[in-house]
Amino acid sequence: MTTTTEPTLTTVEQIFHEGRSARAWSTQPVDDALVRRVYDTVRWGPTLMNTSPLRLLLVRSPEARERLVSHMAEGNRERVRSAPLAVVVAADADFHEHLDALVPHVPGARDRFADEATRARIAREQAWLQAGYLVVGLRSEGLDVGPMSGMDAAGIDADLLGGTAWHSLMVLNLGYPAAEEAAFPRAPRLEFDAAAAVA
């Protein structure tokens, strides 16, 4: 899929070098079908024993959007309100219920995750890992992806994820960049030698 303003980013180098977090969006909508297609790709990424705890809530209705906005930090509200689509990225602490289907080659896999605290930790860690796959996948479709963690996660869980064991990790604002968008200057990154060592 291409946008009206930018070509699809097909290589990983393009995705990382050209991808940005949007400050302003065009009016082009982001369809559920697009998110579904990206999910169908990135779900194949590896996780610990294929636990695959990533869950997504696509906040589509105006009512749900306003409830989500109310749980965001003050400075994040306007962007969550104005994004063509806001997605709550969550971790399912009951991922083990799917393991008979997900790891049929490991009988009793779900029993290895009987301890609730361990399961909650693994759910969060592996869902963050999958969130990395998801951000890359969404950007590869030409979307601007704005991750946001300044929020009352417990409030989101109670209000929007009630009745599940899903725990919100962050919100992704999705859209296509406005033609007149002037991005903030790019912040620097650590050089390899500051972030890596050889033993």
| Contact in structure between 162 and 172 (CB atoms under 8 Å) | no
Amino acid letter for position 181: E
Q: Is 71 in the site for a copy of itself (CB under 8 A)?
A: no
Amino acid letter for position 40: D
Q: Is 151 in the site for a copy of itself (CB under 8 A)?
A: no
Binding range to a copy of itself, per CB under 8 A, among 22-30, 75-83, 125-133, 174-182:
125-133
Binding range to a copy of itself, per CB under 8 A, among 22-30, 73-81, 97-105, 173-181:
97-105
Of 58, 79, 77, give the one whose Cα is nearest residue 160: 58
Binding residue count for a copy of itself, defined by CB under 8 A:
74
Q: What is the DSSP string of 133-163?
A: HHHHHHHHTT-EEEEE--B-HHHHHHHHSTT
Task: Out of 25, 113, 133, 176, name the contact with a copy of itself by CB under 8 A.
Answer: 133
Task: Out of 17, 73, 78, 116, name the contact with a copy of itself by CB under 8 A.
Answer: 17
Q: Is 100 in the site for a copy of itself (CB under 8 A)?
A: no
Q: Is 110 in the site for a copy of itself (CB under 8 A)?
A: no
Helix axes 62-71, 153-160, angle to 10 degrees: 150
Q: Is 70 in the site for a copy of itself (CB under 8 A)?
A: no
Helix (H/G/I), strand (E/B), else coil: 187? coil
Q: Which is nearer to a copy of itself, 59 or 174 (CB)?
A: 59
Helices (H), 43-115: 62-71, 77-82, 99-102
Q: Is 178 in the site for a copy of itself (CB under 8 A)?
A: no
Q: Is 131 in the site for a copy of itself (CB under 8 A)?
A: yes
